[in-house]
């Protein structure tokens, strides 16, 4: 019999719902897998086995009573350390928040629980979720299970590494500049950044976020199959009045033509040959599945969108961030602050209002563009996953990382959804593509993602490479 931790989330939930296996058995399998491999990769930094078993028993008891346990019945899920989970510290990877114990769950965590999921543990992230690499002075560094010399991505690097190694079937992450999409890419799994307003978000443990973060950050799932992402999105998207930005949009929009565009060099981005090959291969996969695929020269002003994202992020609260990073002392976070300090010095006093006005114009342009091309294929990054710690190897390393992540930085400025689909391996290094669609058209991202996934993805889950 296949070990339960190896199954997809949807298959495991189906087996539990039909009593082929129990949620307790699934929980024990997940805990055993965590004990076996987490010491090698440090993906999960806090967990309570008795609490995991209690949640699983509640699912089994609901089934025994003839109740619907939910679409994620008994599925083990990890939750990122910057997201409130009652009884655990929302450390955000900083020593300043080691004792910030959440009293209630964030909306997405509550929604997962109502869908029957079992919260397995807390997944690691960089300090203040600032990097595309995952280490901090509270919990240490997370290693990529496919190749420990590579970054596991960030900021949801712990969740992605856990899913790839079979520690939980799903991971909850957050994304304001690629923090779901890039870890999925780096670890050879799939990750979905939902549209702004799709998944409700709120941390009662923390002060209200600045407006830029409110408008650009997104909570979403990472998984080993596209179908698992679909079910997780459905669960996480349920209404919660604590988030005023939540929108009651249907999960499936009107039928759209199977028409995809590929842009190899958005904004003049210089991509590596392996990235170009992956994009062209994904285009062929879509064409073989009946899609019309068209290569285009460029997208709407993607570099300007990245600049708006940067200004909305840096233009409000940078002084407080700088002070907090200095108090924490993390070298990775300090490197980010040092690298962007000069950008902040030149920002005008009305940077936020200017950026919000420009955001409206850019969003309009992208909406019209994505009406013409319902699906857009882009690089996730201009490069294969970086050597771990590249961003703290001097100014040139940071500039290289920053430029390579152009598409990851730009799309949140408009609140657009983006899906990373892992498509293969270049030696021991994962590669994949990014699928973009219009607001609240995650269904189109997932439709295209399934067609691409059906024609080959890396083996997953895996035993970590030492």
> What does the pLDDT average to over 207-213?
96
- Model confidence over 240-274: pLDDT tens digits? 999 999 999 999 999 999 999 999 999 999 999 99
Question: Which residues are marked as active site?
Answer: 80, 155, 179
Phi-psi region of 128 (alpha: psi -120 to 50; beta: other; left: phi over 0): left
- The stretch 122-137 carries a mean pLDDT of 98
Predicted pLDDT of residue 211: 96
Contact between 293 and 283 under an 8 Å Cβ cutoff? The reply is yes
pLDDT-derived band at 16, boundaries 50, 70, 90: very high
Helix (H) or strand (E) holding 216: helix 211-216
For residue 2, the model assigns a pLDDT of 87
pLDDT at 1 over 80: no
Amino acid 101: pLDDT: 98
Q: pLDDT grade, residue 13 (50/70/90)?
A: very high
For residue 221, what are the contacts with CB-CB under 8 A and spacing of at least 6?
170, 171, 172, 173, 180, 191, 192, 228, 229, 232, 233, 236
Confidence at 110, pLDDT banded by 50, 70, 90: very high
Q: Does the domain spanning 4-453 belong to CATH 3.40.50.150?
A: no
98-114: average pLDDT:
98
pLDDT in tens, 367-403: 999 999 999 999 999 999 999 999 999 999 999 999 9
Domain positions in the chain: 4-453
Q: Convert 401-436 to b/e letters by CB count within 10 Å (16 or more is b).
A: bbebbbbbbbbbbbbbbbbbbbbbeeeebbbbbbbb
Tell the burial category of 98 from Cβ atoms under 10 Å away from its Cβ (0-12, 13-18, 19+). middle
Q: What pLDDT score was predicted for residue 466?
A: 85
Instruction: Tell me the average pLDDT across 80-106.
Output: 98
C-alpha count within 13 angstroms, C-beta hemisphere, residue 69: 29
Q: Is the pLDDT confidence value at 130 over 80?
A: yes
Q: Give residue 329's region: left, alpha or beta (phi > 0; psi -120 to 50).
A: left
Mean pLDDT of the chain: 98
């Amino acid at each position: 019999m296949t070990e339960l931790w190896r199954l997809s989330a949807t298959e495991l939930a189906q087996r539990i719902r039909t009593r082929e296996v129990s949620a307790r058995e699934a929980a024990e399998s997940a805990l055993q897998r965590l004990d076996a491999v987490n010491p090698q990769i440090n993906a999960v930094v806090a967990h309570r086995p008795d609490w995991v078993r209690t949640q699983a028993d509640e699912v089994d008891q609901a089934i025994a009573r003839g109740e619907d346990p939910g679409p994620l019945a008994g599925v083990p899920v990890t939750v990122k350390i910057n997201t409130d989970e009652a009884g655990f510290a929302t450390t955000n990877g900083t020593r300043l928040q080691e004792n910030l114990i959440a009293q209630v769950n964030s909306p997405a965590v509550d929604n997962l629980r109502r869908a029957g999921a079992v919260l397995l543990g807390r997944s690691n992230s960089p300090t203040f979720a600032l990097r595309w690499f995952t280490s901090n002075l509270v919990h240490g560094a997370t290693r990529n299970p496919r190749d420990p010399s590579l970054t596991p991505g960030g900021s949801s690097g712990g969740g992605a590494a856990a899913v790839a190694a079979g520690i939980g079937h799903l991971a909850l992450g957050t994304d304001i500049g690629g923090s779901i999409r890039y870890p999925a890419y780096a670890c050879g799994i799939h990750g979905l950044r939902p549209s702004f307003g799709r998944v409700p978000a709120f941390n009662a443990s923390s002060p209200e976020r600045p407006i830029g973060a409110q408008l650009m950050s997104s909570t979403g799932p990472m998984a080993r199959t596209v179908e698992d992402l679909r079910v997780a999105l459905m669960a996480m998207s349920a209404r919660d009045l604590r988030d005023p930005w939540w929108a009651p949009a249907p999960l499936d929009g009107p039928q759209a033509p199977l028409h995809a565009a590929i842009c190899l060099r958005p904004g003049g981005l210089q991509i590596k040959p392996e990235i170009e090959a992956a994009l062209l291969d994904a285009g062929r996969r879509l064409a073989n599945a009946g899609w019309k695929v068209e290569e285009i020269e460029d997208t709407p002003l993607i570099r300007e969108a990245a600049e708006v994202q940067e200004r909305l992020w840096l233009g409000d609260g940078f002084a407080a961030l700088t002070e907090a990073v200095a108090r924490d002392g993390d070298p990775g976070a300090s490197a980010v602050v040092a690298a962007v300090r000069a950008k902040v010095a030149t920002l005008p006093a009305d940077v936020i209002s200017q950026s919000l006005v420009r955001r409206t114009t850019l969003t309009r342009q992208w909406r019209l563009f994505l009406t013409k091309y319902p699906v857009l294929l882009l690089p996730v990054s201009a490069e294969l996953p970086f050597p771990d710690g590249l961003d703290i190897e001097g100014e040139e390393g940071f500039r290289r990382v920053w430029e390579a992540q152009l598409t990851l930085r730009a799309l949140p400025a408009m609140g657009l959804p983006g899906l990373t689909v892992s498509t293969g391996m270049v030696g021991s290094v994962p590669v994949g593509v990014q699928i973009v669609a219009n607001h609240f058209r995650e269904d189109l991202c997932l439709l295209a993602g399934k067609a691409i996934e059906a024609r080959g993805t890396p083996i997953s889950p895996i035993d970590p490479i030492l």
